[in-house]
Structures are given as C-alpha cells and as structure tokens.
A and B are shown apart, each in its own frame.
Chain A
C-alpha cells in the first residue's frame, strides 16, 4: 500500500519560513492536498492539488510537488500557524494521509 512520510515536528522562528515535507514514491505524479488541524478542531484544507489555495487561506501558504517529495511552505510564520499539518493523496481508489507534522512557532 502507498505510504506518505512526514517529519514528526517542524520548528520555525516567528516571521520566518517553515517548510513541511511529505515523501512518497513518485508523489510528483499525484495530486497532493494539505490540511491544518488545531487541537479540538476539524481539519482545514490549506492547499489542494499541489499548489492551489482555497478561498480564505492566506497567500503565505504555498505548495509544491516534484519527484518523491511534496512541500508545504508557510512564509512569515505566525503564532496562529501552530498546528498539525497533514498531506493527503489518492492511490488506487484509496485515500492516504501522511502521519502529520506538528509545527511549532518559536
């Protein structure tokens, strides 16, 4: 079965750029979606189909996908960006989520 690998944790200084990776075999050939989840809340879609932002998501959030790695980039990180972030793809009619990465803003 297809697997997605994310770092357990990522730290970023306030105002700097955070990059959260999602590794998978030839993931560049798939559409990758990214979610932000804060404690006690439902996930929120922040990037869909590799690099598209839903309405209401700040331009500070961007995505890229190539080869075996997809990346969610958060520019000018804010305290409110602290959350768990999950990548998501579809493979063989099955939804697959990464294990999630906890973003800490220092």
Chain B
C-alpha cells in the first residue's frame, strides 16, 4: 500500500524558514516524480513544485520560485521542500502527491499524503 506522510509543519515568523518532509513507502520511490501541492485555509488547491524521480529536474510555481527548493533523498525514500523568506500568504496545508499510474510529474495525482499545516505569522 502506498503511503505518503508529511511532517515538519508548524508556526514560523514572517521571513523565517521551514523544511517539510514527505516519507514515502509502498512503491519504488526513485521511479516516481513527486510534487508539493498546498491549500490555504478555506481556499482551493495550488500546485507548488515538482521533482523528477532522479531529482535532476525541478519545477516551481511563480509564487514560490527563488524562495522554495524541492529535493529528494532516494536512499531515504523522502521528499523535501525547503521554504525560505516565508510570507503570510504561504500559510497553508502542504500535501505531497504523485502519479502512481504513470510515474510522471506531468500527470494527475492519485496518491496524496494527509498534509502538514504551515502557519506564517508575525
């Protein structure tokens, strides 16, 4: 059974940093691209970033480009996102997700974690 478990969320001050992790199990992690998707309280879904299975290719939403860095450690089956220069508008539940049926980053997400809440406040 595929499992994605996010951690690392919490309260951080404006301008601060936080690193989220997503521990994966139940599949060959390195064969699958991964993404982060966020959802601000009471709002819709927003794609944040994606990374290829090897980690060699990364993609970002304009809203986080230059501030967030996605990475992965295939030896630990773990996905990360380093979030710097955090703003109030980054407050959201952050989900990791992937396309289990294709492995591609450019596809629909049929596997999701339960999310971790990041709150940015002054």
Contact = CB atoms under 8 A, between A and B. Distances in A.
B15 interface: no
A88 B50 contact: no
Range, interface on chain B: 20 to 34
B110 A95 contact: no
Range, interface on chain A: 20 to 34
Interface of A: 1, 31, 33, 35, 37, 42-45, 48-49, 54, 84, 86, 88, 90, 93-100
Nearest first, the 4 closest Cβ-Cβ pairs linking A and B are A95-B47, A33-B108, A48-B108, A42-B112
16 contacts: A35-B45, A42-B114, A43-B112, A45-B109, A48-B107, A48-B108, A48-B110, A54-B110, A86-B45, A88-B109, A90-B107, A93-B59, A94-B47, A95-B35, A96-B47, A97-B44
